[in-house]
Amino acid sequence: MANILNDEEILCSINSYKNVKAPSTIANFFTNLISGGVGGRVINDFKLILTPKNLYIQAIGHAVWGGLSEALYTDQIAREDIQSFEVETQRTKESITITTIDDKKMIFIRDNENKNYLALIMAMFISENKEN
């Protein structure tokens, strides 16, 4: 049985994160202090899910009690709206830069300790779609 998301077959899925800068962390700390930890948390974990029609970016949060993960929200980008999906390999990391046709740029980092280069595989799937 194939994995399905929104009635679409999942071609490739990778876990990633963003490099959160210190000012964001500090602002997040004070927001959580004032709000009692309910709002303003910095989301650092993401799942990139590629289907034949779309690239989904799920923001993953972790519950305060027990640390269970949950998808907080999912952004959807039509594959034809992806201008570029560039992967740079650096030792045990893959740096992923996604640029959309409206010049929105997103940067994610993927651990590649197993050297399976899943981000490069996802990039090949996306480039195949552009060539066809």
> Residues 6 or more apart from 7 whose CB is under 8 A from it?
none
> Residues 6 or more apart from 24 whose CB is under 8 A from it?
42
Predicted confidence (pLDDT) at residue 34 exceeds the cutoff of 60: no
CATH 3.20.20.80 fits 4-131, yes or no: no
- Please tell me the distance from the alpha carbon of residue 123 to that of residue 15, in angstroms, as a whole number: 14
For 55-69, write each residue's pLDDT tens digit. 999 998 876 666 677
pTM attached to this predicted model? 0.78
For 80-130, write each residue's pLDDT tens digit. 999 999 999 998 999 999 999 999 999 999 999 999 999 999 999 998 866
